[in-house]
A and B are shown apart, each in its own frame.
Chain A
Amino acid sequence: MRLITHNMLTCHVKNCEDPDKQFPLRFKDAKLEQIEAERNDEFLVRMLPRLDWAALLITANELNIALPEKVPAQPENDDAFLQALHTAILETHVQEGSMVCNGCGHEYKITKGIPNMLLAEHEI
């Protein structure tokens, strides 16, 4: 699972609704893999406003991934920024491990890069 996707997922267990706690999900025992991918600046720039940058920084910090603190005023002209963003959100894969909700403690397992976000009976 790439970090771009992780940045869009929250805990959705019934009654787990503290926005500060349920997002972003915290990684546990994460096994990372860097896989090169062709950079597409058009995509990166379009996605920027849809990302939660504060959350992305928290996650990058957790995983020791380099990411600039601030989004530049004109990201489309900032090659270094776009390269760092591309590497962080599109080339960094969490292949195994789990994502834990800081609010309710639910653990979402990741297997072969695919997260399982099914909820148990009592959680819906």
Chain B
Amino acid sequence: MPKFVVQFAQFHEDFRLPELDALSQLENVAISFDRSSYSPISPFLIVDIASAAAAARLVRRGILIRSIFEYWASGQTYAEVFAETEQIRDRWALYKQSSFRFIVEAFGKSLAQEEKLRIIESFSYLGFEGAIRMKGAEAEFFVCEEYGEEPGPLKRVWFGRVVGRGSRELVERFDVKKRRYLGNTTMDAELSLVMANQALARSGTLVYDPFVGTGSFLVTCAYMGACTMGSDIDGRQIRGTAGFRRNTDGIMANVAQYGVAGRVLDTAVFDVTQSPWRAGALFDAIVTDPPYGVRAGAKRLGRRAGAQAMRSLQEIDGVANHLRDDYYPPTVAYEMSDVVDDLLAFAAARLVDGGRLVYWLPTVADEYEPADVPRHPALRLVANSEQPFGKWSRRLITMEKIRQADLDETDAGPAAAVHDPAHKNFRDRYFSRFEQL
């Protein structure tokens, strides 16, 4: 199979391979590569793909992918690159009359304009006779000197023909600094977009966020073609009366901003642990950032033990309390490990077979073990990517529904824990700086 090279962005490195796998599934493009050749400190990965058209399709929605190029040659020196290029003379002939351009980059170093021109000159043996076009060239050739993140010698020179690009321009388009409505829990644009890919959000699918907040995932998944729904226990977040950039249209302001009104179907106010959804598999994906109790109080409906007798049925001015417009049902704290276990049980019951659960799991960096990631017999772990913040991290967990399950399935939850998972009592530990409690 022909070889291509994926050029990744050098951000969120732990998320790159999972995104590539998700794209492969989304676009139905088979890829194969040597996993041991992948390095988080290199932007390049050689992959086998059936054709240039398939390669272009594979990366088009990629947020952590800059481009994909047809592999022509690589080596530690230009001499090696030229020697390898000699082997594919028949390929040069294909582009002899095409309009073309050269893109020269260096990863880990700055190249002056004169150096770039010199490099381009060194490839003149290819004998291209077509016009040089900076825009709209029929063939784009790419040369990159890879130095790596530490200053040091040239590691590798890459040479090939660009066949496709990712969608990194969306990161700027969805930048939260430009967003009409946001709150202090709004997820950054890059990761919100990656989550849409992890969820396989696409035309024809229905995606749900049970902790919708200011609606970041509703708009990114809708942008990728899915129809979306969201709910939250706090109606003010949805309506726009909370948060630090208030907007009286709330989530709908962002929906208008990104032009996805036809696909962001609805939002509703309710507690997902007291969910009004009809029984059965309703959703293709559940995409969410559950409240850890740090920037947003994690709560659920309920009365604190020992609290006064139920107020709801008492009457004020002849009207039962719970029927008054100003009634807010009481809430209690919702502990993180319960939030996650409930989320998995909910996903197992409500996802269609093959559907995806994509959620963030906060964890204490020093104590985290893979066994901490909650399990459920109806869900298969697909990806686990870490975003580190020093003493704590959050992990983007992707799970896939493998078979139908009842909501009350008793073998849900983590296997007999050898220790308390690093996300237990996360909120208290965060505020006491992760001292031992």
Contacts and interface: CB of A to CB of B under 8 A. Distances in A.
Contacts of A9: 268, 276-278
Contacts of B28: none
Contacts of B276: 9-12, 117
A118 interface: yes
Interface in A28-46: 35, 37-38, 40, 42-43, 45-46
Interface string A11-53: 1100000000001000000000001011010110111001010
B382 interface: no
Interface string B205-241: 1100000000000000000000101010101001100
Given A8-B278, A114-B238, A120 B329 contact: yes
B84 to A, nearest CB: 44
B322 A120 contact: yes
A7 B269 CA distance: 16
Contacts of B269: 114-118
Contact of A8 (B238, B277, B301, B330): B277
Interface size bracket, B side: 35 or more
B282 interface: yes
A112 B249 CA distance: 10
Interface in B249-285: 261-263, 265-271, 274-278, 280-282
Contact of A10 (B278, B301, B329): B278
B301 to A, nearest CB: 5
28 contacts: A1-B268, A4-B266, A5-B266, A9-B276, A10-B277, A12-B274, A23-B278, A35-B261, A37-B261, A40-B203, A40-B227, A43-B206, A46-B204, A46-B205, A46-B206, A50-B206, A50-B280, A52-B278, A115-B268, A116-B270, A117-B268, A119-B301, A120-B329, A121-B310, A122-B310, A122-B312, A122-B322, A123-B322
Interface of B: 203-206, 227, 229, 231, 233, 235, 238-239, 261-263, 265-271, 274-278, 280-282, 301-303, 310-313, 321-322, 327, 329-330
